[in-house]
Amino acid sequence: MTLWNGSYPFYPGANACFPFDTARAVIVTVFLSILVMFIIILPGIRGRARLLWFLRLVLGLFLGAVILNVQFTRDWETGWVQANTSYNSFSPVQVDVDIGLHIGLAGVNITLRGNPVNQINETINYNEHFPWNFGADYDRSYSEGLQKGLPSPILYVAEKFSTQSPCAVHQQYRIAGHFVSLTLWLAFCTWLVSILLFSMSVLLYGGHMLLLTATLILFSLLLFSMAGNTLKCPIQFGPVSLRTGYGESFWLTLATGLLCLLLGLGIVILNSVQPEKLKLIFSLDKSSKKDVWDKSCLPVEPSCSAQDGLMVPLGELCHVTATPL
């Protein structure tokens, strides 16, 4: 097989990074649409209740969006290294590349980016995903990468997470990802229940559901950290090694769990110490009952100013001046 434009013709092109994740884009679009819809009706709320209602709306949507969004992110654990390594197996050609490892709940993403991008008459900009979620076969994806002729750095990193690897980290990450995903789905359900309880003005039970949501979120982080602390084989590229640490999704989930915990504790404590202030925050104070009729305006009370023009004393109705015939 001869070369064509500096590369073998049966090698596929680089699987470059897509500008954005479609699943995350859909989730963000849905929650932003809900936010915009409620902002449109915001001017119909009068007084101080408008600001409090808007803050509750933003906090509630933020919590739900984060809990749902981190299910599909691929940066729970990340790592980068800059190395000078061989580009293809059994080839002495060395390239300067940035190698990235991104571990999510559903699999591993391996990024290979040239420094510069164009080297050895080829564009080096790869992003390969190797899934291990339900219905996916990691080893099969790795075998397909071998058949496609992926660059050696990608295959070397992907081999560390295969079931046949002596590193034995595939099972830990895969099981942890499944249980973390399940726990976060439960947290999303409890968040929905809390929103429903708050809309029904059942504040105490809504606070309890927020505490349960926080507990599930923090427990999911514990499960993932247990998988990340397992003994790993070094991912070595010459004198440098690829090391990973917790990524943006992990820290964002931790912040969301702590926020749920603080909100839940605040609602429960306020409900037991100062319930009137809690009702004021949720616009349930006495001033919200102005629409209820005042008993003093009922027709039986002659003192009601609204009825003065219509009510005539019974004695005046019975007083009739008789004219003699």
pLDDT of res. 104: 92
Per the structure, the count of domains in the chain is: 2
- Read off the pLDDT of residues 31-62 as tens digits, 9 standing for 90 and up: 889 888 888 887 777 767 778 888 888 999 99
> Is residue 120 located within the same domain as residue 230?
no
Residue 303 confidence (pLDDT) above 50: no
Mean pLDDT (whole number) for 171-175: 89
Claim to verify: residue 228 and residue 210 sit in the same structural domain:
yes
> What pLDDT score was predicted for residue 267?
94
Please provide the average confidence, as pLDDT, over all residues in the chain. Answer: 81
Q: Tell me: do 66 and 180 sit in the same domain.
A: yes
Which of 165-171's residues contact partners 24+ apart within 8 Å by CB, and which partners?
165/233, 166/233, 167/232, 167/233, 169/227, 169/230, 169/232, 169/233, 170/132, 170/138
Same domain? 158 vs 178 = no
What is the reported pTM? 0.78
300 Rama sector, left if φ>0, alpha if ψ -120 to 50, beta otherwise: alpha
Give the pLDDT of residue 224. Answer: 92
Query: Shortest CA distance to 244 belongs to which of 66, 94, 123, 99?
Result: 99
Q: Report which DSSP code applies to 55.
A: H
pLDDT of 306 reads 42
Query: Are 33 and 67 a contacting pair, CB within 8 Å?
Result: no
Q: Which long-range contacts (CB under 8 A, 24 or more apart) does 113-116 make?
A: 115/82
Find the mean pLDDT for residues 121-146.
Answer: 89
Q: Which of 117, 147, 167 is the last residue of a domain?
A: 167
* Residue at 10 is within a domain: no
Q: Token pair 């034995």 is at which residue?
A: 168
Between residues 69 and 298, the one the model is more confident about: 69
Q: What is the pLDDT of residue 61?
A: 93
Find tokens 């809900």 and name the residue: 34
Higher pLDDT, 319 or 132: 132
What is the band of 230 on the pLDDT scale with cuts at 50, 70, 90? Answer: low
